[in-house]
A and B are shown apart, each in its own frame.
Chain A
Amino acid sequence: EVQLVESGGDLVQPGGSLRLSCAASGFTFSTSWMNWVRQAPGKGLEWVANINQDGGEKYYVDSVKGRFTISRDNSKNSLSLQMNSLRGEDTAVYYCARDVNGGFGSWFDPWGQGTPVTVSS
């Protein structure tokens, strides 16, 4: 079964840091582009970042550039999102999702169950 399981979500103070992880199983992780997508409470979906198969290409939404870093460890089938200088507007459920067709314009399947991040004092 193709599966993604996120972890690491927590309550953190503004300006703080957090590292999210996503464990992949049931597919060849090392050949897949991967994404992080977030959803603020009561709001819609927002793409956050993606990374190519070997980690050499990374792209981010403007609002997190310079603060978030996406990375992967193909030996552990693991995706990560390091989030620094966190702000209230970063409060959301964070999902990892596989990029099915690779690269630009592709679709996401499957999605993990999500991990909640709350930025508040």
Chain B
Amino acid sequence: QSVLTQPPSVSGAPGQRVTISCTGSSSNIGAGYGVHWYQQVPGTAPKLLIYGNSNRPSGVPDRFSGSKSGTSASLAITGLQAEDEADYYCQSYDNSLSASVFGTGTKVTAL
């Protein structure tokens, strides 16, 4: 069972800004561990999108951005494009479980 909670789905018109929340607790995000985000197109492997709360790997468009505050984190897509339709997962570390943990996942749809 996931200890990081995400909304099941978010949607927006092309060009709009959408955000995905990732809610944790004092044993993971709130303990200071970094939050990382992955994009997964159905049928393919996850791809790293954001690491260390807000850093983009080379090649990731700058319309993707991440932030963290307290026990939560967010991923924003500014200027949603049809190609951004995918599942998105946050990830952190939980010191009470002594394990890496993933969020429940969010499906993004471009209307």
Residues of A within 8 A of B (CB): 35, 37, 44-47, 50, 59, 61-62, 95, 100, 104-114
Contact = CB atoms under 8 A, between A and B. Distances in A.
Contacts, number: 62
Contact of A44 (B2, B57, B100): B2
Given A44-B2, A45-B105, A47-B102, A107 B91 contact: yes
Given A59-B99, A105-B92, A105-B93, A111 B105 contact: no
10 contacts: A44-B102, A44-B104, A45-B89, A45-B105, A100-B51, A105-B34, A105-B92, A106-B34, A107-B36, A108-B91
Contacts of A113: 44-45
Interface string B72-106: 00000000000000000101110101111111110
B45 A111 contact: yes
Contacts of B91: 45, 47, 107-108
